[in-house]
Amino acid sequence: MGHNAFDLVLIVLAVVILPALSILMGRRLAGAPAGSLVPRYAFTVVRGWAVVALVMIGWWWNGRPFTWLGLDIPVSPYGLAGLGFDAVVAVAMATQLLRPLSALKPDRLAVLRRQMAQIKILPRTRSEFLFFLPVAVTAGVWEELLYRGFLFWFFSGFGIVVSILVSTIAFGAGHLYQDVRGAARAFLLGLVFALAYAATQSLWWLIVIHAMIDVFGGINGRRLSKLPEPA
């Protein structure tokens, strides 16, 4: 597939540097985060778009078709079906958000609190929430571009199973800041995304649904912060 030194740099970034940074961030966020999360959000956005720039500039420089990254134009029928699925999920999410969290059963609310706490970077204040929205959109773009688009292309010569496994493991490792259980959930979500990308070869709809999931989590994190702590 014409791999070069620049591609190897991106591989090291995906499977070594980003997991290491995730572990470091997890240690810093251990326990209750101190102070505002806005500076961390700003760093996350800058880092994400830097990754996007690296991938896209490298791709353009090497004269590769962007369809190899799953950025198909016009969008394929499979990709259009994926965007239709996104619309259905968006309606389901909106419906859920219309239901007050206080209406949930106490045990379900406790589970939700634990899950949200493990993510560690969800917004708690209004200012954090406003800054979190760009974080969610950025994550949808750079994580899908790197973990699905680029890694699938890089390992395509080894077969689809290897591409799926490497993509999923790297994605899960990149979320180790959420602790082992949070990283395990990210691993499972990454596996679903990897299988979906393998089936459609279109990245657009995965970018959209990834961003929606993160926005949904951010909204729920903010909603939970408004509820009184359990006695």
Does the pLDDT of residue 206 top 80, yes or no? yes
Q: What is the mean pLDDT of the chain?
A: 90
Q: Which tokens sit at 33?
A: 């985060």
On whether the CB atoms of residues 224 and 112 are closer than 8 A, the answer is yes
Quick: pLDDT tens for 61-77.
999 999 999 999 999 99
pTM above 0.85, yes or no: yes
Q: Which residue has the higher pLDDT, 33 or 59?
A: 59
Mean pLDDT across 11-33: 85
Q: Which residue has the tokens 């393998």?
A: 198
Quick: pLDDT tens for 132-155.
999 999 999 999 999 999 999 999
Geometric angle at alpha carbon 204, from 74 and 123, rounded to 5°: 155
Geometric angle at alpha carbon 229, from 226 and 231, rounded to 5°: 150
Does the pLDDT of residue 231 top 60, yes or no? no
CA diameter of the chain: 60
Q: Which tokens sit at 34?
A: 């101190």
Q: Is 2 exposed, middle or buried (0-12, 13-18, 19+ CB in 10 A)?
A: exposed
On whether the CB atoms of residues 208 and 87 are closer than 8 A, the answer is no
Quick: pLDDT tens for 76-91.
999 999 999 999 999 9
